[in-house]
Structure 1
Amino acid sequence: MVIWMRPERASRGPRPAHSRTEIALACVRVADAEGIDAVSMRRVAAELGTGTTSLYRYVSSKDDLYDVMVDAVLGEEQLPIPTGYWVEDLRQLASWKRARFVRHPWMATVSGRPAVGPCGLVVQERSLRAVDGLQLPIDEMYIIAEALDAYVQGFAMREVAEQWAIQRSGLDAEAWMDAHAAYAQAVMASGDFPLISRMWLDASEPHAADRAERGFQHGLDRLLEGFGASIRRSHSPGG
Structure 2
Amino acid sequence: MPENLWMRPERPSRGPQPSFSRAALTEAAIRVADAEGLEAISMRRLAAEIGAGTMSLYRYVSGKDDVIELMVDAVVADYLPEGTALSGDWRADLGAMARQARRTVLRHPWLAPLAASRQGASPNRLRLLEASLRMVDGLGLGVDEMLTLIGAVFAYVNGFVQSELAEAEALRRTGLDLKGWTALQAPFMMAAIASGDFPMVARMATEGGRAYADIEERFEYGLERLLNGLATDLPRSAG
- Whole-Å separation in 2 of the counterparts to 1:178 and 1:17: 57
- Answer with 43-52 or 98-107: which moved more: 43-52
Instruction: Answer yes or no: is the 8 Å Cα contact 1:90–1:130 preserved in 2.
Output: yes
- Of 123, 139, 143 in structure 1, the residue corresponding to residue 144 of structure 2 is 139
Residue 234 (structure 1) shift: 8.2
Q: How does 1:108-127 map to 2 (within 5 A)?
A: 108-111=112-115, 112-114=117-119, 116-127=121-132
Residue 95 (structure 1) shift: 0.8
Q: In the alignment, which residue of structure 1 is the partner of 2:68?
A: 66
- Whole-Å separation in 2 of the counterparts to 1:213 and 1:8: 41
- Whole-Å separation in 2 of the counterparts to 1:107 and 1:235: 34
- Whole-Å separation in 2 of the counterparts to 1:10 and 1:50: 17
1:214 is the counterpart of 2:220: no
1:230 partner letter: D
Instruction: Answer yes or no: is the 8 Å Cα contact 2:12–2:59 preserved in 1.
Output: no
- Answer with 108-117 or 133-142: which moved more: 108-117
User: What are the superposed Cα offsets for residues 180-215 of structure 1, whole Å, 9 maximum, x if unpaired?
Assistant: 22222222212222222222222221122x1x2222
Q: How does 1:10-89 map to 2 (within 5 A)?
A: 10-76=12-78, 78=81, 80-89=84-93
- Whole-Å separation in 2 of the counterparts to 1:139 and 1:76: 25
Residue 91 (structure 1) shift: 0.6
Give structure 1 stretches of 5+ with no counterpart. none
Q: In the alignment, which residue of structure 1 is the partner of 2:9?
A: 7
SS at match of 1:102: helix
SS at match of 2:206: helix
Instruction: Answer yes or no: is the 8 Å Cα contact 1:31–1:106 preserved in 2.
Output: yes
The one of the two structures with greater contact order (alpha-carbon pairs below 8 A, sep at least 6) is 2
- Of 98, 101, 118 in structure 1, the residue corresponding to residue 105 of structure 2 is 101
TM-align CA RMSD: 1.9
- Answer with 125-134 or 218-227: which moved more: 218-227
- Whole-Å separation in 2 of the counterparts to 1:61 and 1:120: 21
- Answer with 7-16 or 221-230: which moved more: 7-16
1:232 is the counterpart of 2:228: no
Residue 61 (structure 1) shift: 2.1
Residue identity over aligned pairs, in percent, reads: 47
Give structure 2 stretches of 5+ with no counterpart. none
- TM-score, normalised with respect to structure 1: 0.90
